Every structure is written in C-alpha cells, then in structure tokens.
Structure 1
Amino acid sequence: MYADDGSPLSSRLGPYFSDGRRRVDYVLAYQIQKPASIRRQSSRFGDNNFIRRLRRSLSMRSSRAPLQPKEDPEIAAQDQRTDYHEDDKRFRREEFEENLLETGLELEKDEATKISGIGFLKIHAPWNVLCREAEFMKLKMPTKKVYEVKQSSNLVEKVRLFIHKVTAPLHPKVDANRPQSIKSLSHPFSREKQHLFDLSDRDKFFDSKTRSSIVYEVLKRTRCTRAKYSMGITSLLANAVYTSDYPLHDVSFYLTAISA
C-alpha cells in the first residue's frame, strides 16, 4: 500500500493508525484485567509441573491421597470485588469512547503490545474537528498576509550585526533567498474565512502541539455519565479508568510499547 504522496505506508515516519494514513494525535493507556477465574486458571497452569511433583512426592509417602483444599471464601469475595471494579472501569471507557466518536474524533484500539496487561487507545482528529475546535478555542493561526520585520537602528543592533558578520563563517549555511524578516500575520481561526489563511499545506497547518492541545480540550469536556459520573479525561485518569495519557509530542513510551 502507498500513501497519497506515493511513499510506501510502511516507511512513513511517526505514529499512525493501522491504515498508515491517519496520524495519531493523542494516546490513552488503560489496564487490561483478566477475570479472577481466568487468572486463577492461568496460575494453576503455570504451576502445573510443581503440583505434579508435589503430588508424586506425597503419594510416595502416604497411600492416602491428600484432600483438595476448599476455596477460601474471603479470597473469592475479593476476586469478585476486583472483577466488579474492572467491569465498571470498562463500561465507563466504552461510554466515554462512544461520546468521543460523537464529537468527530477517530479511535483505534491497540492491545497487542509488548507490555502485558496494557492497552492503548489511539486518537486522531480529522480536519473538520481541528477547524471546529480551533474556532471554538479562538486559536491564532497564520494568514496569507505577511509583513516585514524592520531592523532596529540603535547602537545595540549595530553591534549585533557586526558580530554576526564577523562570525558568519561559523554559522550553518541557509537558503540565501529565504526572507528572514518576513513574518505571517496571525488571526483567530474562522471556518467562514478559511480563504484568509495559508492552507497551502493542510497537513502542516496545525502543528503537532496544536493538534494535541485541541484533542485534549475535547477529552476534558467529553462527559461520562454512567453510574452517576459526569467527568472528562482528568477525572477518568484520577479514578484509574485510564492509567496515562500521551500527547503527540510525547509518545515515546507508546512507540516503545508497540515496537516489535
């Protein structure tokens, strides 16, 4: 498969959805807890060899088979409480994620990672959501209008220019035709006035920090009303419904977890 620019999807840099096209703007981590019955069964299977050796030793010492211990009711009650709390967290995640989808965000779960017991929810903000939220947040974005930054004529500026000229051979080479004193005029974003903004490259119009900030604002105000809860991502993190959150510019932990 190839991306829109003709490059193979497998060679694209950075975190993407499984389709290789939609960029991950935010990541939520959560704990995957197995039911108590499965945990006990896995533990028994893991100790199978030890139990067989123990039984063989006991059978050699006594002709009577040892009695199987009964399940401790206190442990069973504790396991039941654990399962209830984990189910409650899962139900709250499901409702929260359904509400996120209603806001227009796109989600993809990844539970097949190298870290056992940890799942990740990848979040992508499509163009229409970015524009809507940028307008709501009154974010100042670069317009097509540019202006020239005039150099000061005071003594300090003259000294700075002289030092810059003397140390010029030590500076890295840059494009001489690039206007260093030309800046774009910024203005609060408006969907009705998109023609005023520099949209020559939509993929770079909203940088990674802006995209993460937009998604975080949506996460903060998205409600989760199950079991009398009304909360956003801040409260869900405090109640361990999700264990961690990672903006796009801080996903090294996630990338380590999904790397093969």
Structure 2
Amino acid sequence: MKRITESESNHHDLETKSTRDLLIGINQEDHTVALAVELEIPQIEKLVDGCVERMQEGGRLFYMGAGTSGRLGIVDASECPPTFGVPHGMVIGIIAGGDKAIRKAVEFAEDDREQGWKDLEEFNITEKDIVVGIAASGTTPYVLGALETAKKNGILTGGISCNPSSPLSQLADIAITPMVGPEFVTGSTRMKSGTAQKLVLNMLSTAIMIRLGKVKGNRMVDMQLSNDKLVDRGTKMVMEATGLEEEKANELLLKHGSVRAAVEAFNH
C-alpha cells in the first residue's frame, strides 16, 4: 500500500527558507484541507445518521486512536458535555497507552493489536454503541484490532484516515478518507492530516448533537455554566429569549442551571 501521508513533501530545503516563506508554505498546504474534507461529506453524513439512530436508543460513541489521532478524539469527546450538556459517558475518547499518553508518547502502545478491544470492554461495550477509529495512516494495529473485533460483535464502525485503500478504510463500515496529500514536513501527520481529522470530528459531533436536539436555533442551550464567560453568554441568551433584564435573566439562569431550563420555566 502506498501511504500518501508518508510521501515526499512538495517543499524542499526547508532549512534554507526564511520564516515568512516557511509560514506561507504551511498555509498554502492548509488551504487544501477543507476541500479534501468537503469531498467526504456523503460518508460523514452516513456516519452521523448511523450514530444518531443508535444514540437515540442509548448508544455511545467511542473514538479510538494513537498519538495525535487519539488526542484529537479525546479533545472532541471532552468538549461534548460542556458544550451540549450531555453526560460524560456519551462520547468517549480512548488513546493507545491510556490517559498518560495524552501528554507523553507511550512507546509501542499503538502496535498492540489486542489492547484496543480490551480497552473498549472496560466500558461494557454493546451493539448499541459505535466505534470510530482515527489513524492518519490507516494502519495503526491498536485501532485495526479494536475495529475488527467490534465488527464481529455487530457494532457499527467508522474510520477516519488520510490514506485511500488503507486497512482502516477497507475495514470500517463507513470510511471517511480526506486525501490531503503529502505533509509540509514529510510524514508529519500532526499537520494537514491532523487538521483534516479535527475538521471531520467537529462536523461529526456537532451534527450529531444538533440532530439529538442539543441546539435550539443556533444556540448552545444545554451548555454547562462552568465559568463566568459561559454564565454571561447564557444570561444574554435568556435575555434574548424572554425579554427579561440582565439581573432577572441571570437569576433565572442560575436557578435552573441551563438556558433551556430557564426559558422553559419562564414560558410556563
């Protein structure tokens, strides 16, 4: 298999370039990423719909990856409760090597083909759940092993990679493969491949949460009020929805704990 993610950069003699030229080169490459993701919208749509169907029945969404890919899954999963007010166990990010690998690479963790499924079993995974493997190369054994066993157990699987015809894109029920081409620094998949994966994850979780009714109009009405900025934002949303003055809106918001609950209380 030819790995596009490992192919030679289009930019040469980087150490001889000025700072400005380096930044322009990186930015030129980044321009191509959103277009590559756009071509994958039909596949992303399939995965969103599959997730919504299962999550409406109490299913959970699991992201699995190693290194940068694993960290991106954890970031996306960890943002769902504060943004959309869903329980912490609804979207779960799992990284090869465990939580310590979030900060520091754990050597050879991604090469263990058995460990991914063992990590999923700790969550009592069932066929109501969904497992999405994330791997820029599409060849990470930790991710492939987990998806293979998930499929055998009748669990819907998705794959996000940047190499067409990779083992991951062939294995996953729904493969999302933005082809971003060679990296600015050859093989540095934390760059364009990582950006593409982040864009796909943004689309996936946001669309799922909107379809599950966690957004009203275009507002995060169920967001957690976990800091002053969010309380302030929530207060303004309550003011807009009810016509109340700031002090009263703030009082109502803090009493009921979310914009949705505060507005519903006001309307009844």
- TM-score normalised to structure 1 length: 0.22
- TM-score normalised to structure 2 length: 0.21
Considering fraction of residues, name the structure with more strand: 1
Considering fraction of residues, name the structure with more helix: 2
